[in-house]
Chain A
């Protein structure tokens, strides 16, 4: 049997983490290809629904990443994101999702290597956990 390849949806802010992922690419830092990046203007706009939808679609883990607290282009995006994330984690905890499947990171533009490290760590963690408890809801199998 093939090794389990987790699928990760990463919500990344346009100004910091998306640029960091870009930097990781241009500086040829290798990281696993299990991550699908969704670019958003700000981590503060991540709605819990986006994350729920990712799990409904069969994601094994979700990464929400954006600027550091002081770097936000919209002043208080990361604070909003933190507040949303705290509520969301509690909700997903009740639902029986392992807490490790949700990850909140702050990665700035220059931290391409940090982005690569976070993705690597996350993939290792998810490989240990196995498929998400909602993976049976996935309609079609997507090749990683």
Chain B
């Protein structure tokens, strides 16, 4: 694949150079050297090297804000993803957050000889069953556990809360002991080969166990399964649902009721769940059906929601930190005591910003942050 093919595929040639993408881009707002419009212009003028060897290629959050506003429907995030694939082929691996550990883990997982110990955290408290029709996708949570110890983030809390919810609703989900990374991060950093290997493994595993439904607590995995696996020709052949959609469905169909939780909350739309997949109402419906919850919207919500500042563990720099701080201040301004989000990564990034040891620490807004699954779990049971 070369630049010309990408231009054809993503219809970049329709670009009017109106600059709407740059004016709404959360990165371009703070980073003057990053401009989606200028990147597209480079591509259209045929400056392949300038584009590929520009480290700013890895600054894009692929949050889809630009694509939503583009009058010509240019798919900028996919353009970036494909341009990154060319960059990878040319030995440009970009600057990745956590020095690329997460991408490296995904690459290591492609080895067929590994025997992961990913379910060691599972206790008797949760009921799982190997004959179940419903699969719960654990995702990277067991790996996030040690990596994010020092920012006091326990990704497995979200997984455990989700299992508790499913158990209380009478579902004993199946967990896969050898599921591998869904490939989201390597795909969006342009490492297509690794992505394909992982997707092939996961799709084969799921077909083998023959489940009817997969429930995700992570929007990135959900997006990858829903859009990218079919795009690359991997079919898992079953229904896919995010836990918020699953809960909304139960509320609507079975009249699911919750206990009272007194809290004033606001909601952060994860870009993968919101703009990528258009799921805005389900999490709000869940929040509104919990008695005692006072729900307030942030100034920028739903389609206009602002990204948490890093995606797919690519470039995380001081600009990312400003995006986060701004978003946190926006949340504090609503008067809410808690930000609810339904993406473990949003939570990681916001927590990281709040414990940052940098100079700006004094100015950093401090607000509780919680996953939707945790909130729902606390509103269920005794």
A binds B: yes
Residues on A close to B: CB < 8 A? 47-49, 52-53, 55-56, 86-88, 90-91, 93-97, 133-137
* Known contacts A87-B147, A87-B149; is-contact A94 B116 (Cβ 8 Å): yes
Partner of B109 from A49, A93, A95 at Cβ < 8 Å: A95
Instruction: State the majority secondary structure of interface residues on B.
Output: helix
The answer for the CA separation of A137 and B108 in the assembled complex, in Å, is 8
B111–A52 CB distance below 8 A: no
Report the interface size class on chain B: 20 to 34
A134–B147 CB distance below 8 A: no
B112–A96 CB distance below 8 A: no
Report if B105 contacts A (CB, 8 A).
yes
Report if B117 contacts A (CB, 8 A).
yes
The answer for the CA separation of A55 and B107 in the assembled complex, in Å, is 10
Report if B114 contacts A (CB, 8 A).
yes
Report if B110 contacts A (CB, 8 A).
yes
A96–B99 CB distance below 8 A: no
Q: Residues of A contacting B112 with CB < 8 Å?
A: 136
B145–A90 CB distance below 8 A: yes
Specify the chain B residue showing the minimal Cβ separation from A131.
Answer: B113
Report if B104 contacts A (CB, 8 A).
yes
A134–B111 CB distance below 8 A: yes
The answer for the CA separation of A48 and B100 in the assembled complex, in Å, is 9
A94–B117 CB distance below 8 A: yes
* Known contacts A48-B99, A49-B99, A90-B145; is-contact A137 B107 (Cβ 8 Å): yes
The answer for the CA separation of A7 and B99 in the assembled complex, in Å, is 24
Instruction: State the majority secondary structure of interface residues on A.
Output: helix
Report if B284 contacts A (CB, 8 A).
no
**A and B contact pairs by CB, cutoff 8 A, 24 listed:** A47-B99, A49-B100, A49-B104, A52-B101, A55-B108, A56-B107, A87-B146, A87-B149, A90-B146, A91-B105, A91-B147, A94-B116, A94-B117, A94-B142, A94-B146, A95-B117, A95-B143, A133-B114, A134-B113, A136-B111, A136-B113, A137-B107, A137-B108, A137-B110
B111–A53 CB distance below 8 A: no
A to B contact number (C-beta, < 8 Å): 67
Q: Residues of B contacting A88 with CB < 8 Å?
A: 146
Q: Residues of A contacting B109 with CB < 8 Å?
A: 95
The answer for the CA separation of A135 and B113 in the assembled complex, in Å, is 9
Report if B115 contacts A (CB, 8 A).
yes
The answer for the CA separation of A87 and B147 in the assembled complex, in Å, is 6
Q: Residues of B contacting A56 with CB < 8 Å?
A: 104, 107-108
Q: Residues of B contacting A97 with CB < 8 Å?
A: 114
* Known contacts A49-B99, A52-B108; is-contact A91 B114 (Cβ 8 Å): no
Extra pairs beyond A91-B147, A133-B114 (7, CB < 8 Å): A52-B108, A56-B104, A91-B105, A94-B142, A94-B146, A136-B112, A137-B108
Report if B127 contacts A (CB, 8 A).
no
Nearest-neighbour CB distance to chain A for B61, whole angstroms, equals 22
The 9 closest A-B pairs by CB, nearest first: A90-B146, A49-B99, A52-B104, A96-B114, A133-B113, A96-B115, A96-B116, A133-B114, A87-B146
